[in-house]
Amino acid sequence: MKEDGNKTKEQLIREMDELRAWKRKQEALEERRKKIDETVQKAFDDLEILTGERTAILQKANEKLMREIQERERVEEALRESETQLRLLSSQLFNAQEKERQRLSKELHDQLGHDLVLLKSRLRAIERKLPREQTTLHGDFDETSRYVEQIIENVRRIAADLSPSILEDLGLFASLRWLVENFSKQHAINVNLDMDDVDHYFSQETRVNLFRVFQETLTNISKHARATSVSIVVKRKKDVVSFHVTDDGRGFNPGRSPVRDPALKGMGLAAMKERVHLSGGTLEVRTRPGKGTSIRFDIPTAIPRGGGK
Ligand SMILES: Nc1ncnc2c1ncn2[C@@H]1O[C@H](COP(=O)(O)OP(=O)(O)O)[C@@H](O)[C@H]1O
Ligand SMILES: [Mg+2]
């Protein structure tokens, strides 16, 4: 540097060079910044595309899910509807069956029963005309008479089983007693009966259902259980009447019952479940081979709480 403060030519050239180098550096920096900007922009674009694609996929999955939910709701609704239809149908079927049984029972009792009584009295009338000394023939007549009496008794029993007029005349309590006594006598099985008088708590339809459920339960015990004793408990609780029938017989494998496997032909248990269901309850069967069988269900009372006795 000169003393007067003016820069020398060399100094100026050096500064110019420095300025040029600085400018190049700036340009290179600017270039890099641009590249970075482009890369960032591309990354943003890619991200946008990716997000768009993801959103589309998610939207599709969502739409599929919605369709599936709607389809499921539709199927559930259809199922509920067909279940209601089925309930209605089984109720109508039971009613029709009950009417048919009533008709058959009446025909058996009034027609066949009546004819048999007539036959018996005719036999007696003919016998009276026989000379006393015809002892063998008298003996034959007596035997035939007893046979006819037995047939009359059987017809009465079948007619009563088909449609127990006692259910209408004396109610559920008396009918169940009658059923149990007959069962105990007929099969020489000891029955322990502990039953509240629950007659007034049920509609006529439910009474018929309950009677039929008991009838099938006892029939099953006599047919399958080989039991020596049976316990029946019928108790009024708060809003329900609880029914419990236990036998000490050979039990069975409930997994193979016709309720689960329609290929097995018995329909008794299935009909029992349906009748209990129609009466507002659920029937539970507890059994194991060799361990007896226990059938339990609660039926809601038709009388509101606080009503009845
Ligand atoms: N109390 C019972 N003890 C032993 N086995 C039983 C009893 N109740 C039902 N079962 C079994 O369950 C099956 C189904 O009974 P059910 O539906 O009434 O049909 P079915 O009496 O016509 O065979 C019977 O075949 C029998 O094997
Ligand atoms: Mg049966």
pLDDT digits (tens, 9 = 90+) for 11-21: 999 999 999 99
Q: Report the nearest-CA residue for atom 26 of ligand 1.
A: 224
Q: How far apart are the first and last CA of the chain?
A: 128
pLDDT at 307 over 60: no
Radius of gyration of the chain (CA): 46
User: Ligand 1: which of 220, 274, 283 to mutate, judged by most atoms within 8 Å of the beta carbon?
Assistant: 220
The response to whether residue 249 sits with its C-beta less than 6 Å from ligand 1 reads yes
Q: Which of 10-19, 131-140, 249-258 has the lowest mean pLDDT?
A: 249-258
Q: Report the nearest-CA residue for atom 13 of ligand 1.
A: 257
Contacts of 211 (CB under 8 A, 6+ apart): 164, 167, 172, 175, 176, 179
Contact status, residue 269 vs residue 255, Cβ threshold 8 Å: no
Distances (CA, A) of 123 to 147, 151, 153: 12, 14, 17
Element (H, E) at 235: strand 229-236
Q: How far apart are CA 254 and CA 214, in angstroms?
A: 19
pLDDT digits (tens, 9 = 90+) for 271-297: 999 999 999 999 999 999 999 999 999
Q: Which of 49-58, 140-149, 158-167, 212-221 has the lowest mean pLDDT?
A: 158-167
Report the pLDDT value the prediction gives residue 102, as an integer from 0 to 100: 87
Domain 171-309 has CATH 1.25.40.10: no
Mean pLDDT computed over every residue of the chain: 89
Q: Report the nearest-CA residue for atom 9 of ligand 1.
A: 220
Report the pLDDT value the prediction gives residue 305, as an integer from 0 to 100: 46
Q: Report the nearest-CA residue for atom 3 of ligand 1.
A: 225
The atom of ligand 1 lying closest to the CA of 219 is 21
Ligand 1 centroid–CA 257 distance in Å is 7
Q: Report the nearest-CA residue for atom 1 of ligand 1.
A: 221
Q: What 3-state DSSP class applies to 98?
A: helix
The response to whether residue 283 sits with its C-beta less than 6 Å from ligand 1 reads no
Contact status, residue 224 vs residue 261, Cβ threshold 8 Å: no
Report the pLDDT value the prediction gives residue 160, as an integer from 0 to 100: 86
Q: How far apart are CA 152 and CA 280, in angstroms?
A: 39
The atom of ligand 1 lying closest to the CA of 251 is 4
Contacts of 101 (CB under 8 A, 6+ apart): 162, 163
Q: How far apart are CA 114 and CA 119, in angstroms?
A: 9
Report the pLDDT value the prediction gives residue 258, as an integer from 0 to 100: 56
pLDDT digits (tens, 9 = 90+) for 53-78: 999 999 999 999 999 999 999 999 99
